[in-house]
Structure 1
């Protein structure tokens, strides 16, 4: 039986960015269920470590959301073959699920880029709409004029909000808040990114993702709490 610290050490051989808080989050999502001692300490088996490694591998290599990974684990628990993995670029067709509170490296880093016409078709919008969104800084192309998967997701979300009457000018506050959060994360990790040690720079990238995860979860919790405080909402 292993403590959570020993599990972290084993996992970091393959996943140097993993943290104890990430292991606890995956436990909270019931993807792994370690035993507990009478005093409340977690005790992991070798099978628990393999299960965690499987989850992390599916996130890192295939960008799968946790709800899909749950399906894979359920199939394995039943002794069945897990569902087929999506092909390259398939993540572009699935909306981002931030309810899990996890941000993982997505297809934007190395996946297919979209041209302008492809983005318009994939998001179901017009060039006039895209031009307006670009003028507000909501959607930004890469230097080569293409768009990555994250910008496609932004375009889809802006379009969805537009169906409720929210125009780009209404979303300036959302964009400004996101920019402030990015600045805060950058302020924290910048010293690590400038470090000569490659492992320290890799840790900076992992820390940035974890801070982004926490920021998304905090934002969602604050919005939900604010709505509950309003009668009738």
Structure 2
């Protein structure tokens, strides 16, 4: 009996085209033209924002012989996807990158679920992207009781305005607080995280204050965009420093067990 023929090696041409498919990949657009195409939908987008997203590996423009970035229509669609995810679902860049890689691999990506609130009449309402929301809605969206929200407020972990409304990003904050408490972390010790965040915000504010002091709308938009970019970088720095510290602690713990020797 003759041996079975080996399976043919996969042909690179069979790999799916990177997402989006069927869109021109001709690198014919400058970074300024890309900003112009996106600004109607995302007024705060800037050249520095596009460069930041490139640094994060979310878009890879071609470099011309003179070193200038050249973008294709497909690059513009990837950028539009990233900006939409940030605006509509507050997704972190790491999650957005995972979704893009899934799309590149040919998988369908479910749209980010929009939180739903059930009113007292039993109707399901999809809240709009409002900048703030009342305590009852925050409770419905996160599953936290009103008493829990009052406790977090008393600890200074979330802060309502004078009318009792919370910033919309409190949804993510409360969700993370609930998860940490579920892992046995006392919410009282998390006040230091809030203090650290406020100090980081102060540093960022100082870095962009010169732009914010100008009255032109374009300067204010640029300052806001730069603040968010610096915030992303600050969050990444905090995460990596935390990993270094945890690795050091784990190393010390393992060294201590080694010095004591195996138990008898």
TM-score, normalised to structure 1's length?
0.70
Residue in structure 2 matched with residue 134 of structure 1 by the alignment: 153
Q: Name which one, 1 or 2, has greater alpha-carbon Rg.
A: 2
More helix by share: 1
Please say if residues 113 and 146 of structure 1, whose CA atoms lie closer than 8 Å, have aligned partners that are also in contact. yes
Q: Could you say if the C-alpha distance between residues 24 and 195 of structure 1 is closer, same or farther in structure 2, counting changes exceeding 3 Å?
A: closer
Q: CA distance change for structure 1 residues 64 and 129 in 2, over 3 Å: closer, same or farther?
A: closer
Within 5 Å, give how 1:191-230 maps onto structure 2: 191-230=210-249
| CA RMSD, Structure 1 to Structure 2 (Å) | 3.7
Instruction: Select which of 13, 23, 29 maps to 2:51.
Output: 23
Conserved? CA contact 1:114–1:147, under 8 Å: yes
- For the pair 1:70 / 2:100, whether they are aligned, the reply is yes
CA distance in 2, matches of 1:22, 1:226: 32
Structure 1: which 5+ residue stretches go unaligned?
Answer: 94-107
2:73 corresponds, among 30, 42, 47, to 47
Residue matched to 1:98: none
Q: Deviations over 1:164-204 (max 9, x none)?
A: 22222201211110110111112222232221222111111
Instruction: Quote how far apart the aligned CAs of 1:9 are.
Output: 1.1
Residue 35 of structure 2 is aligned to residue 12 of structure 1: yes
After the TM superposition, list the runs of 4 or more consecutive aligned residues in structure 1 that deviate by more than 6 angstroms. none
Gap runs ≥5 in structure 2: 1-25, 118-126, 254-264
Please give the per-residue CA displacement for 1:77-104, whole angstroms capped at 9, x wherever unaligned.
x6x9x767568xx1689xxxxxxxxxxx
Distance 1:109 1:184 in 2: 31
Aligned residues: 209
Range moving further from structure 2, 201-210 or 137-146: 137-146
TM-score normalised by L of structure 2: 0.63
Match of residue 137 from structure 2: 118
1:150 aligns with 2:169: yes
